[in-house]
A and B are shown apart, each in its own frame.
Chain A
Amino acid sequence: MSARQLSFAAVVMAAAVIASGACAQTAARPDLTGSWERYRGPAGDPANPPPEAAAPPLKGDLLVEWEERRAAAREADARGEPAASNVTHCIPDGVPSMMNGPFPFEILQGATQINIAQEAYSQIRRIYLDKPQLTLDDIELGFYGRSVGKWQGDTLVVDTIGIKEYVRFRDVPHTPDMRVTERFRLVTPDILWDEITITDPAVLDKPWTVTFAYRRMPDYEIIEYVCEDNREYADEEGVTRLRTGQ
C-alpha cells in the first residue's frame, strides 16, 4: 500500500470513528418528547427518586423563619383559615415549582430548543440548547428566568437564572442570584428524573437538591388551562375565603 493509499485509509477510518461516535452520542440522547406526570412508586421502587432532606439548607435565622412560617401555615389550615397563596390569585408557580405537579406537563424536544409546557396555568419554559448563559444584567427577572441546556451523554443539563424573588419554591426565600441547575435523565424508558439543584450562597449554606420522578403518559394531550374565575379570594387578613352566591 502506498503512502497515499495509507493516508486515504486513515482518513476513512477517522471519519468512520467520528461517525460512529456521533451515532453513539445520538443514540444515547433520549427522546423526551411527550406528556409526563409525577410518579410516586411503591416503597422500594428503584424508580423513586432519592428521599429529600427534611428542610432546605437555609442559613440560621432564615431557616428558623421558614420553619415558623411552615408551622403557622399548618396551624392556619387546622383552623380552617388557610393563608391565600399565589394560586389564589391565579399567579403561576414559575421555576422550579412548576416541575412539582400535580398537573401533567409536556416536553417538546428539538435540536436547538426544548420547551416544557406545564398544564396548570399553561406555563411554558424554553430551554435554549448549546447557547451561552447571559448575565443577570441582560435578563429581566421573571417567573421562568432564562434557561440554557446541553446534552451530557444521556443527561440534559439545564441552567436557569433570573427568577423573581417572590417566585419561591416551597416558600424558600432566594435572591436574584439564585441559580437552578437541573439534570433530566431517563432512569427507565418511561420514567424521567429531574434532579433540581438550587444554589444561592447568600441564603443557602450549601446547594439544595430535590429530585422529582415522572411517568410517561402515552397519548395524553395537554388540556388548556386558563385561570378564568376563581371564587376563592384573600380577605383583608390574607385568609382564603370562598365567594358564595351567584
Chain B
Amino acid sequence: MARNTQLAIAGLLLGGSLSAWGHHSFAIFDHTQTHTLKGTVVSFQWTNPHGYLELDVAEGPKGIAHYTVELTSINMLRRAGWKSSDVHAGDEVTAIVAPLLNGDPGGLLLELKVPDGRTLVPPVPGINTFTKTPSP
C-alpha cells in the first residue's frame, strides 16, 4: 500500500479532513482543450476503478513521447459495449484526450480510433462538458 494511501486512511480513522462526497471527480482534466495523439499501444489495462492505456506517441503535443490515458470504470465501458479485446499492445491508434491540467503527460480518454476503423467513445459522465479542440 502506498505511503500516501496509508496517510490518508490514517487521516480518515482520526476523523481527518479527507472529503467524503462519494463520487469521482474529473476536475484534474482540462475541460477546455483536447490533445490528439497518434501512436502505438504499449498496454491496455482492463481494471477498476479505471482502465488505462499506455501509449508511445508518434504525433501529438510537442515533446511528449509517452502518454498515460485514463478511461472510465471498466464496468461502464462494458455496459457501453467495450471489450478488453478491443485494444491490443502494438495497435496503432488515434486518441483524443482531455489533458491533465498540471501538465503531466496524461489525460482522460474521450475518443479512440482503433485499427479496424472503429471509433470507440467511452461513457465519460458529463462528456459534453469537455471541449474538443485541434491538438497544439
1/0 per residue B1-26: CB within 8 Å of A? 01011011101110101111111110
Pick from A88, A93, A223: contact of B8, CB under 8 Å: A88
1/0 per residue A135-177: CB within 8 Å of B? 0000000000000000000000000000001111111000000
Give chain B nearest CB distance to A143 CB in angstroms: 12
Pick from A80, A171, A231: contact of B50, CB under 8 Å: A231
Q: Please indicate the chain A residues that have their CB under 8 angstroms from the CB of B21 in the complex.
A: 73, 85, 170-171
Report how far A71 CA is from B101 CA in the complex, Å.
21
Asked if B52 and A231 sit within 8 Å, CB to CB, the answer is: yes
Report how far A243 CA is from B7 CA in the complex, Å.
17
Asked if B4 and A235 sit within 8 Å, CB to CB, the answer is: yes
State whether the Cβ of A234 lies closer than 8 Å to any Cβ in chain B: yes
Asked if B25 and A77 sit within 8 Å, CB to CB, the answer is: yes
- Residues 83-126 of B at the A interface (beta carbon under 8 Å): 100-102, 104-106, 125
Q: Please indicate the chain A residues that have their CB under 8 angstroms from the CB of B19 in the complex.
A: 69, 73, 83-85, 171
* In the complex with contacts A82-B27, A246-B54, A97-B68 CB distance below 8 A: no
Q: Please indicate the chain B residues that have their CB under 8 angstroms from the CB of A169 in the complex.
A: 22
Report how far A80 CA is from B15 CA in the complex, Å.
25
Asked if A166 and B12 sit within 8 Å, CB to CB, the answer is: yes
Report how far A77 CA is from B27 CA in the complex, Å.
5
Report how far A244 CA is from B53 CA in the complex, Å.
11
State whether the Cβ of A219 lies closer than 8 Å to any Cβ in chain B: no
Q: Please indicate the chain B residues that have their CB under 8 angstroms from the CB of A244 in the complex.
A: 67-68, 100, 104-106
* In the complex with contacts A225-B48, A242-B68, A97-B22 CB distance below 8 A: yes
* In the complex with contacts A76-B27, A242-B28, A242-B106, A84-B8 CB distance below 8 A: yes
Asked if B28 and A227 sit within 8 Å, CB to CB, the answer is: no
Q: DSSP class of A's interface residues: helix, strand, loop or mixed?
A: loop
Asked if B5 and A89 sit within 8 Å, CB to CB, the answer is: yes
Asked if A168 and B20 sit within 8 Å, CB to CB, the answer is: yes
Asked if B18 and A84 sit within 8 Å, CB to CB, the answer is: yes
Q: Please indicate the chain A residues that have their CB under 8 angstroms from the CB of B102 in the complex.
A: 80, 241
Q: Please indicate the chain A residues that have their CB under 8 angstroms from the CB of B20 in the complex.
A: 85-86, 166-168, 171
State whether the Cβ of B47 lies closer than 8 Å to any Cβ in chain A: yes
* In the complex with contacts A226-B48, A227-B48, A228-B48, A91-B12 CB distance below 8 A: yes
Report how far A240 CA is from B101 CA in the complex, Å.
12
Q: Please indicate the chain B residues that have their CB under 8 angstroms from the CB of A226 in the complex.
A: 48
Q: Please indicate the chain B residues that have their CB under 8 angstroms from the CB of A235 in the complex.
A: 4
State whether the Cβ of B45 lies closer than 8 Å to any Cβ in chain A: yes
- Residues 16-47 of B at the A interface (beta carbon under 8 Å): 17-25, 27-30, 42-43, 45, 47
Q: Please indicate the chain B residues that have their CB under 8 angstroms from the CB of A166 in the complex.
A: 12-13, 15, 20
1/0 per residue A68-107: CB within 8 Å of B? 0100010011101111111111110100010010110000
Chain B residue nearest to A236 (CB atoms) is B4
Report how far A230 CA is from B78 CA in the complex, Å.
18
- Residues 188-246 of A at the B interface (beta carbon under 8 Å): 223, 225-236, 238, 240-246
User: Can you list 15 A-B contacts (CB < 8 A)?
Assistant: A80-B27, A80-B29, A80-B101, A85-B23, A87-B22, A90-B49, A100-B22, A119-B75, A166-B12, A227-B48, A229-B47, A233-B5, A238-B17, A240-B28, A244-B67
